[in-house]
Structure 1
Amino acid sequence: MRTLKELKERVRRFIDDVAIPLESLDIERDVDALDDIARTLRRQAREAGIYGPQLPREYGGLALPWLACAELFEESARSLLGPIALNCAPPDQPNALLLDLLASPAQRAQFLEPIARSEKRACFAMTEPAPGAGSDPSMLQTTARRKHGKWVLNGHKKFISGGIKADIAIVPARTEEGVTLFVFETATPGYRVVRDIPMVTGYQIGGHAEILLEDCELADDAVLGVVGKGLAHIQLRLEPARLSHCMRFIGRARRAMDIAQGYVNERVSFGARLAEQQQVQAMVADSHIDLHASRLLTLHCAALMDEGKSVKHHSSMAKVFVSEAVGRVADRAMQMCGALGISEDAAISAIWREMRPFRIYDGANEVHRSALARRILDRNISP
């Protein structure tokens, strides 16, 4: 078994030598091109022995604990294509985790195995247009009603990451018993992708779909987990998903700062290198402080998950802090590089565009702050 240090070095070389050179504006928002390049990169990642750090061994993964995944996810995310290459990118990284926890043996064979092996893609279709579910899953409007021995789903989903040309859908819907999760093939009649919604970010496998469910009939074996327990099941996906985002975005911000540091060490202005200017030095120092604190918060949560403990509270704190900290780092890197930073000649602008939505992904930061404060005050939790 390779040591974590050896695996990290393999990932670093793969990112520098294979993934980063393939980044291109031509593929940034091209769903078909991203699928093609994902197949190529994942084959190469398998050959390099770094595929699927978080995936079970029976599906070709490394089955690493969260602390080890944190280091490899960060390293992979220095490239905009890195997490895609290792199949540790959303939405399928948390989709596979959820299926691993809840799927029946038949569902594992039909859905989890092809996702883990990169033979199929899945989307998690929760978000809805107003007044439907967003940061508050309890506002879910999509319904699933029993009719002639079938579940009949009707609803409208929007901003669904990975939804374009996904083969599998995991869909929360409201039933008489409560919110319930369903997993099924997207070829099912009544499931229709309306469009790919243009977003500020790029390099998203499967884009961001708007989806209609119109009398979509499903058998009982489409239920994922327990009928009526969907809200609890959703949290099984969301808590580690938040933390996985932190791991990846730390890597993104680190790449931006590496580029910026190289630039200010070379660029001369007003008779001195930018690196000699105190205002630039302050931005560098603040960015390293933000990244170090972000990494420690993330690793602490990862250690708790490895111990089998709930990270509902700590992952919310990490998500809020890290999403804002990496945004500050990317913004400083852009400022330090001037025109280069806002151009497409460097990766900083693409990284900067990705950072802003992180404050919305997996629950808006304002919602997390409110939930944290209520929990702290209700339980009188000491700092």
Structure 2
Amino acid sequence: MTHRATSIADKVEAFVRETVIPYEKDPRTKGDGHGPDDALVHEMRAKAREAGVLTPHILDDGTHLSQRETAIVLIRSGLSPLGPLACNTMAPDEGNMYLLGHVASKDQKQRFLAPLVSGEARSAFLMTEPADINGAGSDPMMMKTTCKQDGNHWIINGRKRFITGYKGAKVGIVMAKAAEGACMFLLDLPNDAISITDVPDTIDSSMPGGHAELAIENLRLPASQMLGHAGEGFSYAQVRLSPARLSHCMRWLGSCIRAQEIASEYACRREAFGKSLIDHEGVGFMLAENRILIKQSELMIDWAASVLDTGSLGTAESSMAKVSVSEALMKIADNCVQVMGGTGVTGDTVVEQIFREVRAFRIYDGPTEVHKWSLAKKIKRQTLKRIKP
């Protein structure tokens, strides 16, 4: 790993441990019940800016760290669920910055990307739709939201659901289907043509704004706000989604490393039946298993990141990493709760929240079963091609 990345990661870790972790008991972390208050986010980001660790994965010249370098930085930022918010490495902003950095025009970057990189604004990615009989859910190929050209403008209508961070966001990326195919548009938020119909209560609580359901009615946007060209939306989605699902792995691995630290300390201090908890095989073995799973997750992330660094979309590799790491982190978090017993299910430590967040992560950016289904289809194609007479 490069000295550059290690140096940045060390600064990020010091900032998260010394400055961010004390905020975990701040009542503003609960906000309106759908994630931390934006006032808290801006307060932490001001301190991150002062410490030189705001948006640390994007360099001063606008270039990004490699994916392998990004991994060690984002893992360290994830040592607290608040760390990615404070350092501006949190979803959906991190993924949206990556997409705009690779696809947006110079003018679009100045208007929409710059406020995200500076940490002054949050963003939302409007792709997922209601999963009812007429809805697409998270499958963009079934998208029902439409866009039609009207002179030098486009008119967008449809519904979106589970739009993370929409409430309070200043920048939006909306995906819709035209005759030419899928399209993406940039817009300033809020917009009167988009209304929040619901912000459901969810198991996770780390992202400001929650996960909103939206109605889009005659949203009129100039053609200059289309990202790239009409019909290229699906390819842009892949540019964003492969690195973004890997970034989730990085951040939540950091949180599980922290949970393991807390559970290990608890097991070493707590005594039961005449000896420390960790000396009971039932407890010690769980912590040992966690250590193995953490290392396996680190290696899987590094492997998938190295594929992305070659310029490949890495769709299959990021899917494999997402499945492997999310399932491993779920086991780690569950073991930590179990080791800590009753204390593990209380808010006395951040372990309980990490457990909830990681459970939701198994669904973020495609549930485990969807990725396995996609991988199975690829296996079938490769096998039939090999055995075809």
Q: If the length of structure 1 is used for normalisation, what is the TM-score?
A: 0.94
Q: 2:218 aligns with which of 215, 219, 234?
A: 215
Cα distance between partner residues in 1 of 2:95 and 2:226? 18
Q: 1:35 aligns with which of 38, 47, 50?
A: 38
AA in 2 matched with 1:104: S
Quickly say closer, same or farther: Cα 1:51–1:276, change in 2 above 3 A: same
Cα distance between partner residues in 2 of 1:81 and 1:370? 33
RMSD: 1.9
AA in 1 matched with 2:90: A
Cα distance between partner residues in 2 of 1:33 and 1:348? 17
The answer as to 2:360 corresponding to 1:357 is yes
Give the conservation status (yes or no) of the 8 Å contact 1:305–1:311: yes
1:105-120 to 2 correspondences below 5 Å: 105-120=106-121
Unpaired runs of at least 5, structure 1 = none
Q: How far off is 1:274 after superposition?
A: 0.7
Give the conservation status (yes or no) of the 8 Å contact 1:134–1:363: no
Cα distance between partner residues in 1 of 2:165 and 2:29? 14
Q: If the length of structure 2 is used for normalisation, what is the TM-score?
A: 0.93
Unpaired runs of at least 5, structure 2 = none
AA in 2 matched with 1:125: L
The answer as to 2:116 corresponding to 1:124 is no
Q: How far off is 1:120 after superposition?
A: 1.8
Query: Over residues 67-97 of structure 1, what are the superposed CA-to-partner deviations in whole Å (9 max), with x where a residue is unaligned?
Result: 1211111111011110111111001000011
Cα distance between partner residues in 2 of 1:53 and 1:257? 25
1:55-94 to 2 correspondences below 5 Å: 55-58=58-61, 63-94=64-95
Query: Over residues 330-365 of structure 1, what are the superposed CA-to-partner deviations in whole Å (9 max), with x where a residue is unaligned?
Result: 000000000110000011100000011111111111
1:220-239 to 2 correspondences below 5 Å: 220-239=223-242
- Mean Cα deviation higher: 301-310 or 169-178: 301-310
The answer as to 2:49 corresponding to 1:14 is no
Q: How far off is 1:102 after superposition?
A: 1.2
Counterpart of 2:49 in structure 1 is 46
Counterpart of 2:99 in structure 1 is 98
Give the conservation status (yes or no) of the 8 Å contact 1:29–1:204: no
Equivalences, count: 380
Identity fraction in percent? 36
The answer as to 2:160 corresponding to 1:160 is no
Cα distance between partner residues in 1 of 2:36 and 2:282? 41
Q: 2:139 aligns with which of 112, 136, 139?
A: 136
Cα distance between partner residues in 2 of 1:126 and 1:65? 26
The answer as to 2:326 corresponding to 1:294 is no
AA in 2 matched with 1:64: L
Runs of 4+ residues over 6 Å off in structure 1: none
AA in 1 matched with 2:258: R
Counterpart of 1:179 in structure 2 is 182
Counterpart of 1:194 in structure 2 is 197
Quickly say closer, same or farther: Cα 1:187–1:338, change in 2 above 3 A: closer
Give the conservation status (yes or no) of the 8 Å contact 1:27–1:203: no
The answer as to 2:326 corresponding to 1:323 is yes
AA in 2 matched with 1:82: G
Cα distance between partner residues in 2 of 1:70 and 1:187? 32
Q: How far off is 1:148 after superposition?
A: 4.7
Cα distance between partner residues in 2 of 1:4 and 1:101? 21
